[in-house]
Chain A
Amino acid sequence: MPSNRQRLILKTIAATLAVTGLAGAAIGGIVLRAGWYDITAISSHWQPVYTLLESGMHYSVRHYARDVVVPTLGEAQQLQRGAALYAANCAQCHGGPGFAQSPIGQSMQPVPGPLIDADKRWAPRELYWITRKGIKMSGMPAWEYHMSEADTWAVVAFMQKLPAMSSRDYAAATNTATNTATPVAAPMAEDAP
């Protein structure tokens, strides 16, 4: 049985926490309702907030992608298909060696990162997961319902080759591939289960 003194201390702590919490919520509510938060894409996140959100994103992807089984990657035809898909769907926001993003990709907030170093940041199963599922509140769409599984792996396979590509290699890979591969707008191929 706590003494009266201990009870008083506990009550004071609880009351202080409750009042502080309520005051915080009230201030937050006022800032929210008044519209003082600058939602524009001109004002960036505060760097510590950005870094926190980014590490949360990394941990989440690592967690959810842990059981993805990676098929064999890197066969010539797959790379060619991957290059065409990359040029048609990824480069507009992420760019490539010597290839600029479109104005949309340039001005997105957060800015879509380059994929030239993607193999250093992510394992292939994680790249697959991100492409497949997208990233909420970042502008990265989920491609699961728009790109077949085989095509997604082709893009992942191509991303493994990007770091070693010069701008000339990239232009050659995407041009030749674009001319020979089926455009992405074509109906999705049926996936083998």
Chain B
Amino acid sequence: MKRLCLSAPLLVALLAGCGQTEAPAGVQGDPERGRIALAQHACRACHMIPGVTGSEVYVGRSLDDLGERPYIAGKLPNTQANLVRWIRAPQSVDPHTAMPAMGVSDREALDMSAYLLTLKK
């Protein structure tokens, strides 16, 4: 079932939440709140995120495999703490990044990262 969900983006959208609301081991935060927060902070405007409705867009990279990427922004090891830092203050990691700071609170960034870390191809 999990394989089916992940292999068909449409199904992921249909069954949003299927097997995806459980945070991976050692990850803090609420993935389901994070999924909504990602929509409410317009992350989906530039990034494609499985489980969040939106257009086909390539301004930021697709986050569909964030849970298994070794690095964030090409430099930070992909830990939850680093992901939270990147989401809240991208310029503190890369001063020239086009990704703006969206005014995300610590709690929301934690929930967002909890959701993003569940995403695997």
A-B contact count (CB 8 A): 78
B18 CB within 8 Å of chain A? no
Question: How near does chain A come to B99, taking the closest CB pair, in angstroms?
Answer: 7
A168 CB within 8 Å of chain B? yes
Judge whether A99 and B52 touch: CB under 8 Å.
Answer: no
A42 CB within 8 Å of chain B? yes
* B residues at A contact (CB < 8 Å): 10, 13-14, 36, 39-42, 44-46, 52-55, 57-59, 91, 96-103
Q: What count of chain A residues pass the 8 Å CB interface test?
A: 29
26 contacts between A and B (CB under 8 A): A44-B54, A48-B10, A48-B13, A50-B55, A95-B100, A97-B98, A98-B91, A100-B102, A101-B45, A101-B102, A103-B103, A105-B42, A109-B39, A111-B39, A111-B42, A111-B44, A111-B54, A112-B42, A112-B45, A113-B55, A114-B46, A114-B59, A117-B58, A117-B59, A166-B98, A167-B100
Complex formed: what's the CA distance from A48 to B10 in Å?
A: 8
Question: How near does chain A come to B36, taking the closest CB pair, in angstroms?
Answer: 6
Judge whether B41 and A106 touch: CB under 8 Å.
Answer: yes
Interface 1/0 per residue, A112-131 and B, CB below 8 Å: 11101100000000000000
Interface 1/0 per residue, A82-111 and B, CB below 8 Å: 000000000000010111110101110111
Judge whether B103 and A100 touch: CB under 8 Å.
Answer: yes
Question: How near does chain B come to A172, taking the closest CB pair, in angstroms?
Answer: 13
Task: Report if A95-B57 is in contact (Cβ < 8 Å); known contacts: A47-B13, A103-B103, A167-B98.
Answer: no
Give residues 150-175 of A contacting B (CB, 8 Å): 166-168
Determine the main DSSP class of A at the interface with B. Answer: loop
Chain A residues within an 8 Å CB radius of B14:
46-48
Judge whether A167 and B96 touch: CB under 8 Å.
Answer: yes
Which of A107, A113, A166 has the most C-beta atoms of chain B within 10 angstroms of its own C-beta? A113
Which A residue sits closest to B46, measured CB to CB?
A114
Judge whether A98 and B57 touch: CB under 8 Å.
Answer: no
Task: Report if A166-B96 is in contact (Cβ < 8 Å); known contacts: A114-B59, A117-B57, A117-B58.
Answer: yes
With beta carbons under 8 angstroms apart, the residue of A42, A46, A111, A113 that contacts B13 is: A46
Complex formed: what's the CA distance from A116 to B47 in Å?
A: 13
Interface 1/0 per residue, A23-38 and B, CB below 8 Å: 0000000000000000
Complex formed: what's the CA distance from A111 to B101 in Å?
A: 17
Judge whether B53 and A46 touch: CB under 8 Å.
Answer: yes
Question: How near does chain B come to A91, taking the closest CB pair, in angstroms?
Answer: 10
